Amino acid sequence: MLYMFVSYNCFSGDRGAPVVTTNTADELETRERLLEAAAELFVERGYNHVTVRDICRAAGANLAAVNYYFRDKLGLYQEVLMKIIESLNEGSRLAHTGKPGISAEERFSHYVRTYMGHIFDNGRACRAGKLMAREMADPSPAFDLIIQRAIRPNSARVAALVSELTGLPPADPRVGICVGCVQTQIAGFTGPVAARMVPGGQFTAEIIDFIAQQVVEFSLAGMRAIARQNNKPARKALQKPSKNR
């Protein structure tokens, strides 16, 4: 729990009275109930469609408890996000840790398979995947926290891999677009549409492996095509505008 108390102050800034540091077992238990209830509701409805009253009712807590422990709904949401971000970063770390000496294509395959396996839990999209999908569709005031602490670091690592596969420099806009295409394919299967397209809404290990293989083959084919043209400059429409304009 210590990282929660520290991380909130690191990312929330000076927004008023300090967050209460819980000491007793009862306080810790109430705080955990609020975090768990809030996480479930935020995943189910999204940040913008959950009220403090909803959270306290689900947690069986006093209406003032959110303000007491977290300052406000946004403070509570940031703590929920920090747990989600930690889970995503652990998945990213595992996905980028392959056997030494394997090829870039093998490392890319390992990344897709491992990361997809991480965002599913018991055949369904895990809480982290669902909440990220919510944020993509309906960004909350804490969206920048997700970008800076989870999406941007992982994207930089994927970009380095794409750069190696295509022979393009990491800063080339085509590399960024490839990264976006890969990540969008993976994230797309955590949404409600994908869940309704598989038998029983269950992503079995076999189905997840099959999807991952398709993502790998589709993505590598595209990157190979780009690699064959890597001596051509990026189209002007993709290049960053000049500061002199």
Q: Look up the CATH number of the domain holding residue 61.
A: 1.10.10.60
Token pair for residue 25?
């077992």
Residue 3 scores a pLDDT above 50: no
Percent of the chain with pLDDT over 70: 82
DSSP per-residue string spanning 150-177: IIHHHHHHHHHHHHHHH---TTSHHHHH
Same domain, yes or no, for 96 and 209?
Answer: yes
Same domain, yes or no, for 38 and 136?
Answer: no
Same domain, yes or no, for 195 and 97?
Answer: yes
What does pLDDT average to over the chain?
Answer: 83
Q: What is the pLDDT of residue 124?
A: 56
Same domain, yes or no, for 119 and 25?
Answer: no
Same domain, yes or no, for 56 and 99?
Answer: no
Confidence of residue 18 (pLDDT cuts 50, 70, 90): very low
Same domain, yes or no, for 92 and 123?
Answer: yes
Same domain, yes or no, for 24 and 135?
Answer: no
Q: How many independent structural domains does the chain possess?
A: 2
* Domain, as residue range, for 144: 78-229
Residue 214 scores a pLDDT above 80: yes
Mean pLDDT for 64-84 is 94
- Which of the listed residues 19, 43, 76 is the one where a domain comes to its end? 76
Q: What is the pLDDT of residue 23?
A: 63
Residue 242 scores a pLDDT above 90: no
Cα separation, 13 vs 210, whole angstroms: 44
Same domain, yes or no, for 99 and 145?
Answer: yes
Token pair for residue 13?
């800034």
Domain-embedded: residue 223: yes
Token pair for residue 207?
């189905």
Query: Higher pLDDT residue, 127 or 179?
Result: 179
Q: What is the pLDDT of residue 236?
A: 46
Q: What is the pLDDT of residue 193?
A: 80
For residues 223 and 165, the answer to whether their CB atoms sit within 8 Å is yes
What confidence tens digit (pLDDT) does each residue in 136-184 have? 888 999 999 999 999 999 999 999 999 999 999 999 999 999 999 999 9
